[in-house]
Amino acid sequence: MSLLLGKVVLISGGTQGLGAGVARRAAAEGAAGIAITGRNADTGEKLAAEITASGVETRFIKTDLADVEQARNSVLETIEAFGQLDCAVNAAGLTTRGTMLDTTPELFDAHIAVNLKSPFFIMAETIKHLCSRGVPGSIVNVISIAELGGQPYLAPYVAAKAGLAGATRNAAHAHRWDKIRINGLDIGWTATEGEADTQKRFHGAGDDWLEKANASVPMGKLGQVDEIAEFIVFLLSSRSGVVTGSVIDWDQNVIGGSD
């Protein structure tokens, strides 16, 4: 099957981890063009070259999501490069730690900028473009299961991601008659390069962190990038039907469950 045949896809935060997984999956599902954004040019250009070599033209757009104008411009640059944009994925996320008591205004603002403000305006620019063409489209926001409460050390992250969940539903409702579907994915603990760095930086984990993490969860493994990426591409595609405004839990712990 070619779920994204002929579609141009923008993936914000698409140079590594889950975003890179989505880019590779979009290419495998027949996308006509892919734009990936991030701050690291070396990583981004390498991935873009890899996917282009596989047969799908891919552009890297250097973007710092702390700057909302760069975020907005990434949409415009994608349209300029490919002539259209059909699907967008907000996959980037800032995960620096902070509790309610030690979070500074500066840390809070950084989380809002990366985890809420820039995704909000990437959605807005994408929707404007789709409406101007009078065509359907789809957007998926990678949120977090933590938006439902989260750990004490994720206070600013939770605040921003909860805002993105609300914005996802609001935008989906506002543009359902434009046939623009907008959904979110509340992912749980996931095995990525970034998570490895986070565990070592903030939690003193060793090189065996993943083995220990896998042993601590019900399914015996953390969330897997390839599995989540496949589901995101499904949500982007017409195969997910009329589904819009859904924020879907992708986790192995049940919110509200109790032993």
Residue 8 phi, psi dihedral angles, 5° rounding: -100, 130
Catalytic residue of the set 60, 157, 189, 250: 157
Q: Is residue 157 among the annotated active site residues?
A: yes
- CA distances, 161 to each of 39, 88, 117, 137, 173 (Å): 21, 17, 10, 23, 19
Q: Could you tell me if 39 and 13 are in contact, meaning their C-beta atoms sit under 8 angstroms apart?
A: no
| Residues classed as catalytic | 157
